[in-house]
Amino acid sequence: MHVHAHPDDESSKGAASTARYVAEGVDVHVVTCTGGERGSILNPRMDRPDIAANITEVRRQEMERARDILGVRQDWLGFVDSGWPEGDPPPPLPEGCFALVPLEEAAERLVRLMRDFKPHVVTTYDEKGGYPHPDHIRCHEVSVAAFEAAGDPDRFPDAGAPWEPQKLYYHHGWSYGRLKAIHDVMLEHGLESPYDERLEKWDRDESWEKRLTTKVECAAYFGVRDQALLAHATQIDPDGPWFHVPRDLQAQAWPTEDYELVTSHVETSLPEDDLFAGIRVR
């Protein structure tokens, strides 16, 4: 079970490893906490009044296409996008948004899904949210609370029979090592890297990079990932920097998607190359 804040996050974070596991016969469930109603339209081709006026329905349709491309089940947790607060100081978050919903209320909904689906592995964001969007941080908080509560018969007794997931991971997308490796391979092939400025501004924290425990080989599924991304047409510009790096060079530079094992109720040894290490017999 992957728990994400908005539609498109399932395609930009861990989609290739998702596609690999689906191909191997794993039943994968994506939980989307909000509808992405306050997300900006990032693709100039889709920045039109008719799209903006129907953004909720448009993003639901995009999610359905991405879900089918990835081959996953998907449920909406049913909360409203908090939006990205802009300003100095930032304005208050809108009333009723996901980031302001009481933790217990949101956790109960996720516990209900966990007890129904019965995942062995749960992935979500780290405590920084991957980036500090209020919905990503809340997604982290809700996911951890639900993971801890799902197997406890005294917690949320009306949310179904207890089920204890075996492993909890944080997804780590853009580590310095990954960005630098892709940047370097572009230069080696005489190509312009889209990451010059980002690397110059990167405030490197080596202790953070050491938290990575699990690298899932999934380069064969980068194409599926890209198709799922493109399904989110309001969010993904096909001419944007995401697609400037040839797929074969991505595979050469960094053929894995990376995770941090946070909790395990089964024996495993680090580093891992499989989210199901210790759970399934190869």
The pTM of the full predicted model, rounded to 2 decimals, is 0.95
The string of DSSP letters for 188-236 reads HTT---TTHHHHHH----HHHHTT--EEEE-GGGHHHHHHHHHH-TTT-
Q: Is residue 267 classed as helix, strand or coil in its secondary structure?
A: coil
pLDDT at 219: 98
pLDDT at 9: 97
Domain 2-174+208-246+255-264 has CATH 3.40.50.800: no
> CA Rg, the chain, in Å?
19
Q: Is residue 218 exposed (0-12), middle (13-18) or buried (19+ Cβ within 10 Å)?
A: buried
pLDDT at 281: 54
The residues near 254 (Cβ < 8 Å, ≥ 6 apart) are 177, 178, 181, 182
Domain boundaries, the chain: 2-174+208-246+255-264
Centroid of chain to Cα 144:
14
Residue labelled with tokens 């399934």:
280
Ordered mean pLDDT values, 10 residues apiece, the chain (282 residues) = 98 97 98 96 95 96 98 98 91 96 98 98 95 95 98 98 98 92 97 93 87 97 98 94 92 98 97 95 50
pLDDT at 282: 46
The string of DSSP letters for 36-49 reads -TT-----GGG--H
